[in-house]
């Protein structure tokens, strides 16, 4: 009888996920706060066939200490924390959790658009600080910008981009532009979207939403010259990764009226420093990387990741990161 795979779980997961994993594997669970400390992970990993994690770097340092490792399952759709070439060289498969969080992230993007355009955070503070007094506030000082019938430009028309498009077009009657590595005729047909150059999108959009994955090619994908192409009345929304934007250029654009405002779920460094100038600007809405942060979605992600790990270790089904498909065929 074949021995059961040994897996290391580096953060707390829902009880039903742990029960599922225990049916198929011998499990060791980190039960402390957050993720297992790096030094402990490096010390323990030598004994395990599988690893369940979220955001922890899987690099040469870790892989050199993991001679038995066959699969790493991440509780995330992004996998920029995987060193793909190092993993492939050692025959270690990486999996992720697409699809399950698309709608939840799209909801947050619309929330950031609405909050930015209607100045929700700024005016919430205005009321709570006792500044809303009859006869002392000009009506126009409270004006925001309409979202309905405005032009939305989406950079990166993947699954989440399509979910955003659905909400924007069907819910707010927005005009839709998109820029993507490849054209998507089905998106154009469903949403009346126009495929265009990045330059045209930036020049014509009232809201620019960045949804590109983080890769070596997309680091600082949006820079100073891109903000300068945007309308002075435009809003920039980022729910992808903080490193896809030159943050200093964004700060400059917001300070100097090059663009009107921003809604940010991600930052160049996370958690961002309390001294980050973005946190001092009234025309920026900031949230702490909560794109998929609802109980249901996070639980669903953990279950998908658990099934992925079992599938990758036993020859079953798994959402394997595309770059690892060649390992499955080998």
Q: What's the chain look like in SS3?
A: CCCCCEEEECCCCCHHHHHHHHHHCEEEECCCCCCCCHHHHHHHHHHCCEEEECCCCECHHHHCCCCCCCEEEECCCCCCCECHHHHHHCCCEEECCCCCCHHHHHHHHHHHHHHHHCCHHHHHHHHHCCCCCCCCCCHHHHCCCCCCCCEEEEECCCHHHHHHHHHHHHHHCCEEEEECCCCCHHHHHHHCCEECCHHHHHHHCCEEEECCCCCCCCCCCECHHHHHHCCCCCEEEECCCHHHECHHHHHHHHHCCCCCEEEECCCCCCCCCCCCHHHHCCCEEECCCCCCCCHHHHHHHHHHHHHHHHHHHHCCCCCECHHHHHHHHC
Tokens matching residue 288: 């702490």
- pLDDT of 135 reads 85
**pLDDT > 90: what percent of the chain?**
93
Contact 48, 69 (CB under 8 A): yes
Average pLDDT for residues 200-229, to the nearest whole number? 97
User: Catalytic residue among 11, 241, 260, 298, which?
Assistant: 241
Distances (CA, A) of 174 to 58, 131, 145, 252, 296: 41, 33, 13, 28, 29
pLDDT at 3: 84
Of 61, 228, 248, 270, the active-site residue reads: 270
pLDDT (0 to 100) of residue 270 = 95
329: confidence class by pLDDT, cuts 50, 70, 90: low
The Cα-based distances of 228 to 218, 222, 260, 271 in angstroms read 19, 11, 12, 28
Task: Please give the pLDDT value at position 176.
Answer: 98
Asked if pLDDT for residue 281 goes beyond 50, the answer is: yes
Q: Which tokens is 194 given? A: 């126009």
* pLDDT for 1: 43
Question: Do residues 67 and 46 touch, judged by C-beta distance below 8 A?
Answer: yes
**Does the annotation count 148 as an active-site position?**
no
| Residue 241 is among the residues annotated as catalytic for this protein | yes
**pLDDT at site 2:** 61
pLDDT at 197 over 90: yes
pLDDT of 325: 84
Q: Dig out the tokens for 58 from the structure.
A: 């899987």
pLDDT of 327 reads 77
Read off the pLDDT of each residue in 285-309 and give the average, rounded to a whole number. 97
Q: Tens digit of pLDDT for each residue in 256-273?
A: 999 999 999 999 999 999
Mean pLDDT of 201-217: 96
- Measured CA distances, 117 to 120, 183, 237 (Å): 8, 29, 11
Give the active site residue among 81, 118, 289, 323: 289
Between 82 and 325, residue with greater pLDDT: 82
User: What confidence tens digit (pLDDT) does each residue in 150-188 have?
Assistant: 999 999 999 999 999 999 999 999 999 999 999 999 999
Q: What is the pLDDT of residue 130?
A: 95
């Amino acid at each position: 009888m074949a021995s059961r795979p040994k897996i290391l779980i580096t953060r707390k997961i829902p009880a039903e996920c742990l029960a599922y994993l225990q049916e198929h594997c011998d499990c060791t669970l980190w039960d402390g706060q957050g993720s297992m400390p790096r030094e402990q992970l490096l010390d323990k990993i030598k004994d395990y066939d599988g690893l369940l994690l979220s955001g922890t770097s899987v690099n040469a340092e870790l892989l050199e200490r993991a001679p038995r490792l066959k699969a790493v399952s991440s509780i995330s759709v992004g996998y920029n924390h995987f060193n793909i070439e190092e993993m492939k060289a050692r025959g270690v498969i990486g999996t992720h959790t697409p699809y399950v969080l698309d709608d939840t992230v799209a909801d947050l993007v619309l929330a950031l658009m609405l909050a930015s355009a209607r100045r929700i955070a700024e005016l919430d503070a205005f009321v709570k600080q006792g500044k809303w007094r009859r006869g002392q506030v000009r009506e126009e000082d409270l004006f925001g910008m309409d979202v309905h019938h405005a032009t939305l430009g989406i950079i990166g028309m993947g699954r989440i981009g399509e979910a955003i498009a659905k909400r924007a077009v069907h819910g707010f009657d927005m005009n839709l532009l998109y820029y993507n590595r490849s054209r998507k005729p089905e998106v154009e047909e469903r949403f009346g979207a126009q495929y265009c150059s990045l330059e045209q999108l930036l020049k014509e959009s009232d809201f620019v939403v960045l949804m590109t994955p983080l890769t070596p090619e997309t680091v600082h994908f949006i820079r100073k010259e891109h903000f300068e192409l945007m309308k002075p009345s435009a809003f920039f929304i980022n729910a992808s990764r903080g490193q896809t934007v030159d943050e200093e250029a964004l700060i400059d654009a917001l300070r100097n009226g090059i663009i009107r405002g921003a809604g940010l779920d991600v930052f160049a460094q996370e958690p961002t420093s309390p001294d980050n100038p973005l946190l001092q600007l009234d025309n920026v809405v900031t949230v702490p990387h909560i794109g998929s942060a609802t109980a249901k979605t996070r639980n669903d992600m953990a279950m998908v990741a658990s099934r992925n790990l079992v599938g990758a270790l036993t020859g079953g089904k798994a959402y394997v990161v595309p770059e690892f498909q060649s390992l499955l065929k080998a």
